[in-house]
Amino acid sequence: MKTSNYIQVFEHQVLRVDQQQLTVQQFDALAYFNEQHDQKYFSLLHKGVRFRQYVGVLQVGELTIEILPKTDQHSHSPQNWQKVLLDLLHACEFLKVDALTKAPLQLKTSPLLWLYIELFVQEIEQLLSQGLQKNYRKQSQNAHHWKGQVNFAKQLQKNLTQPHQIYISHQTYDYQHPIHQVLYKALNIIAQFWIDHNLKKKIQYLIKAFPKQQEIVVTETLYNQLYAAPKFRKYHAALDLARMITLQYSPDIRLGNCPVLAILFDMNQLFEQYIQQQLKKTLDNSWQVKAQASKRFWANRNLRPDIWLSHEGNNYILDTKWKILKRPSPSDEDLRQMYAYNHNFKASKSLLIYPNVFDLSQRSAAYAQPILVQGKAVEHYCKVIFVNVLNKKGTLNTNIAQDIIQHLDLD
C-alpha cells in the first residue's frame, strides 16, 4: 500500500491539513462524519483533528488512518501496538482473529481495515458455501393471477381501471430477509473503498453470488432484533462485523468522491472488558464476577460499577479508567463515584484501576464516613492502582488479573 495513502497515529494525536497528508476535502469529510456521530470520535481543530480514546481505523476517500492505543513512555513501534490492539480485540471477542491463519494479508504491510474486511469476506464466503437460510415472508403486489388472498382495499385503490390485474397478499419462501439485507448492504459499502485489488475482486464476486436484496435502513435496534432470531445463529459472526461497517459509514452525499468508513472501538470499554475477561479466567468458582451490576440510587437512575466481585461474603468494586495519571491522585469525581459504589453494594474495598505509564505506586485510604453492613458501621477503602497493559516483551499482559487480585488484601 502506498504510504501516502496510509497513516498510523496514536490516540489523542493531532492530524493537520497538508502537514500530514490530510487534504481539505478529507478534513471536510471527517468533520461531516463527526457531526453525524455527535462529535464523539475526535475534536476538530483549526485545519486539523485531534483523536480521542477511540482506536481502530478510518478510511476517508483513498486515505486510511489507523488509530492505535498507547499507554507507555517507551518507543514501541506502531506495528507493535497494532498487534497489541488485535490481541485485545481478540481477547474481548470483538474479532475472530483465529481466521487469520487463512487470510492472505500480512499486517506488516496492510492496514487494520483490510484485515477487518478480509475477516468479513471470509464469513460471507463460509455462509454462501454452507447455503443461506431461506425464510417465509408476506408479500403484497399486483399480479395477473390469483395467489393467496385478495387485498380488496388495495384492489379498489390501484386496480379500479385495470381489471386484468389483481392485488394479492401471499406467503413467499426466499432469501429476502433483514439479515441478508444488512450483509448485502455491508458488502456494497466496502466495495466502494480503496482496498487491496485482489480483495476488491473477491468482494465484487460475492456481491454477484449473493442473492440481490432490497435496500434497508440499519439501526442499533434492528441489529438487536436480528441477534434474537434463533434460527440465524450461524450469522452472528458476520453480523458483528457488518454492524461496525454499516453503522459507522458516512456516504459522500455532498463531499464529492470522499466517503468515510470507520471501524472504531472505545478504549474505555476494551480496557474494562479485557480485565473482566481475564478475571473470569483466573478466579475459581468461589468467586462471583459480574460486569455492570446495577442498583437503583435515585428515581429511575442506577449505579453500574464496571466489575463487582464477591468472595466468602465480602464484596469488592473494581472500576477501570482509561486515563493517564502523572501522580497517584484520582479526581474528586472518581472518588465520589467509588464512595457511592461502596455504599450501595456494601463493599468495604474498591479499586480504581488505571494503566501504568509513569511507574506510580498504589495509594489507599479510608473514606471518612463508614458504611452500614448488617447494621454495623464498617470502615471502607478505595485503593488506586496502576496496571501494566504490556508485559516486558511488549505484548499484551495476560497476567493482569493476578496483578489486580493481589491488591484486594484477602488475608
Mean pLDDT for the stretch of residues 387-400: 91
Which domains are seen in the chain, by residue range?
3-131+183-266 (no CATH), 135-174 (no CATH), 283-408 (3.40.1350)
Residue 133 has pLDDT above 80, yes or no: yes
CB-based contact 276:291 (threshold 8 Å):
yes
Q: Which helix (H) or strand (E) holds 190?
A: helix 178-190
Please give the backbone phi and psi of residue 229, each rounded to the nearest 5 degrees, phi first: -75, 110
Higher pLDDT, residue 70 or 381: 381
Q: Say whether pLDDT at 308 is over 90.
A: yes
Residue 63's SS3 state is strand
Dist CA 54 CA 69 (whole Å): 8
According to the per-residue pLDDT averaged within each range, which of 114-118, 182-186, 230-234, 407-411 is highest? 182-186
Q: Bigger pLDDT: 287 or 196?
A: 287
pTM to 2 decimal places: 0.81
| C-beta contacts of 244-252 below 8 A and 24+ residues apart | 244/116, 245/120, 245/186, 245/189, 245/190, 246/182, 246/185, 246/186, 246/189, 246/218, 247/218, 247/219, 247/220, 247/223, 248/37, 249/189, 250/29, 250/32, 250/33, 250/36, 252/29
Pairwise CA distance, residues 89 & 83, whole Å: 10
Separation between Cα atoms, residue 350 and residue 352, nearest integer Å: 7
Q: What angle do CA 219, 220, 226 make, to 5 degrees?
A: 95
Strands 135-143 and 166-174, how do they pair? antiparallel
The β-bridge partners of 166 are 143
Over range 118-136, report the average pLDDT: 89
For 78, other C-beta atoms within 10 Å of its C-beta total 14
320 within 8 A of 328, measured Cβ to Cβ: no
Q: CA–CA separation, 179 vs 164, rounded Å?
A: 36
pLDDT, mean of residues 256-261: 77
Q: What is the mean pLDDT of the chain?
A: 84
In Å, what is the CA distance from 242 to each residue of 121, 130, 137, 336, 398? 10, 19, 23, 39, 29
Q: What is the DSSP letter of 35?
A: H
User: Residue 4 — very low, low, confident or very high, per pLDDT cuts 50/70/90?
Assistant: low
pLDDT one-digit tens code per residue, 6-61: 888 999 999 999 766 788 989 999 999 999 888 999 999 988 999 999 999 888 88
d(CA 315, CA 309): 6
Q: What is the pLDDT of residue 273?
A: 94
